[in-house]
Structure 1
Amino acid sequence: MFAKMHHVCLSILVLACLLPVALSTGSSVEWCYHLPSCNDTTWPVIATRFCNGSRQSPINLKSSLKSMTSSQQKFTFTGFNDKAGISKIKNTGKSVKVEFKAGKLKVSGGGLSTAYNSLQFHLHWGNSSSPGSEHTVDGKRYPMELHIVNAKSIYNGNLAKILQDSEGLAVLGFFIEVDSGTTDQPASWRTLTYHLASITEKDQSADITGISMNDLISGVDTSSYHRYLGSLTTPNCNEAVVWTVFKNPIKVSKNLIDLFSTTVRVGNRSSPLMTNVYRSVQPLNGR
């Protein structure tokens, strides 16, 4: 029994490393956000298998569409209150990623077909004067977007099986909106952004303690959300994601939001600052 549990936890750890740089699959495809030779306009060419597919993400969402709000579709977030569930924050060179300890956090309910293991979350942003969420609502782009990446528990971290399943990954998307008139709020985000100064260069990481996932998404009504089938938002753009994008945004002070685009860099200390790290909206193709 112990050996089996150890194998499952190890598989989850490996999967967490392979999955999203931002939602990446550990592919060898050279892609980026900041250079014309490899930015998102080139992805359908440099990663042709999926990036030019028919159910790509992100998309523009319509506020007029009915929310998923029935009692049978409420989420169960296991371990989201655990302040020991978050382990590290890392500069991936394309985003800031926060890793969870293996097996600590899980997601079920919410209209999902089965339970999912939570692996990590990462963020997408623009710059201090331009918004950078991936999804838009009625054409509006929010300042930032947070993605919690979850993999079907039944696959025990088997990446091949997860990516072959049209709902192998469940990603929870949270818009981040400016909390006008505040500074350094909320406290959980002040703690999170405090660590950015330790990961200014690519591949730098730091231990992170004292906050839970629930602290970071506090105030969000998780019973109201958009749902659609889509893809990873970076190469290889695998169409293996059931998306949940919550209607209610997280409120964060502008000075904390701006720290992402003014602190972390895409490479070493002489490389450009990490700005506009989001993919453009993709066609609905009948969805």
Structure 2
Amino acid sequence: MGMHILCCLWSVFALVKMSSGAEWCYQSQVSCVNPCQGPLEWPEVAMTCGGRAQSPINIVTKKTLKDDRLQPLRYNGYQFAFHSDIINNGHSVQVNLPDSAKIDGGNLESTYKAIQLHFHWGLNGGPGSEHTIDGEQYPMEMHIVHIKQQYHSLSEALKDKSGVAVLGFFYQESGSSNKKYESVVNALKRITRPGTNTTLHDLSLDMLIPSHSNLSTYFRYQGSLTTPNCDESVVWTVFENTIPLSNEQLSAFSQLSFADGQNMTGTYRPVQPLNGREVYHSGSVAVWVNTVVLLSSVLATVGLSFPE
């Protein structure tokens, strides 16, 4: 009973605080003692968060449309090593990127330059990605954020409906560590508190993503930033092939802290309605899967099977 009364008192305090403009937060942070505004209340933080072209989304593969213009992207400067800060910004882990890394092709209307990357994750390797595929939520998702090369800042690019291009990559738990991620994972121990940072040395974007030959299958749609102000100015490219990390590596992200001292977990926005938007896919992945299923059924009927 005492805890219930205390919680109610904090709820009243929360309403007062919200009316004066509380900090936005993820659902994992919302509690009686932390009266922040979770995802359902983000439209009160920024009206745009209640728009009709919001991200992330659940990608239903059988409803995606093939677009032959979605050829493999070109990655310029992704191979070059750089030094940069990795930052606990209170909501995620962010790495600032050199604008010498650029992407084009893949039916993007311009060349886009990289500005930063960040991650979204769950609890100790549990569900944590923002986008989902046929309802499946992956343990973690990385967003590499780019802006059109003629712009000088993210805020300037957000005024353009296609001013920002974000590449989304899913992670999958593996039985062994991914050595390419050792420097990133080890750095997390030095930035556990919000506002702290350390330097990463000799890192390249190619180290963090699948090989370019495995980047030909992806999904494309028009959406938004996934944190307030949720500006609807993002061309999304979400890749099918996943990046392997061990459970220990995935769990290392859960050791970071939010501003209130809680472990930084559940750093994802729930999926948003499509509201009539189309989602496109490159290649013929969905068709190939259906063909394999059909062929397997035919072979099973005649008593045959695919060779192991």
Separation in structure 1 between the aligned mates of residue 41 and residue 236 of structure 2, nearest angstrom: 24
Partner of 2:41: 42
1:68–1:225 CA contact under 8 A, matched in 2: no
- 1:205 corresponding residue in structure 2: 197
Q: Which of residues 165, 172, 180 is equivalent to 1:177?
A: 172
Q: Work out the CA distance in 2 between the residues paired with 1:137 and 1:200.
A: 31
Report deviation, 1:106: 0.9
Q: Which of 95, 99, 106 in structure 1 is aligned with 2:102?
A: 106
Matched, 1:120 2:113: no
Q: Which region of structure 1 is more displaced relative to structure 2, 207-216 or 227-236?
A: 207-216
| TM value normalised by structure 1 | 0.82
**Deviation, structure 1 residue 141:** 0.2
Which has the higher mean CA deviation after the structures are superposed, 113-122 or 123-132?
123-132
Counterpart position of 2:241: 248
The alignment status of 1:227 with 2:220, answered yes or no, reads: yes
Contact conserved, 2:138 with 2:172, CA < 8 A, in 1?
yes
Give the TM-score normalised by the residue count of structure 2.
Answer: 0.77
* 1:159 partner SS: helix
Mean Cα displacement is larger for which, 215-224 or 117-126? 215-224
Residues 18-33 of structure 1 aligned to structure 2 (within 5 Å): 30-33=23-26
Q: In 2, distance between residues paired with 1:256 and 1:175?
A: 14
The answer to whether the 8 Å contact 1:93/1:265 transfers is yes
Deviations 1:73-124 (A, max 9, x none): 221111111112x4110000000001113x3211111210000110010000
Q: What is the match of residue 73 of structure 1?
A: 71
Report which of the two has the higher share of helix.
Answer: 2
Partner of 2:303: none
Number of corresponding residues: 249
What secondary structure is seen at the aligned counterpart in 2 of 1:202? coil
Q: Which runs of 5+ in 1 are unaligned?
A: 1-27
Equivalent residues of 2:210, 2:242 under 8 A apart: no
Give the conservation status (yes or no) of the 8 Å contact 2:90–2:194.
yes
Q: Please name the residue that 1:3 is paired with.
A: none
CA-atom RMSD in angstroms: 1.8
Deviation at 1:67, TM superposition (A): 5.5
**Quick one: distance in 1 between partners of 2:68 and 2:190?**
40
Q: CA deviation at 1:212?
A: 1.1
Structure 2: unaligned runs, 5 residues or longer: 1-20, 278-308
- The aligned residue for residue 7 of structure 1 is none
Question: Could you tell me whether the CA contact under 8 Å between 2:172 and 2:242 is conserved in 1?
Answer: yes
Shift of 1:165: 1.1
Distance 1:190 1:114, change over 3 A: same
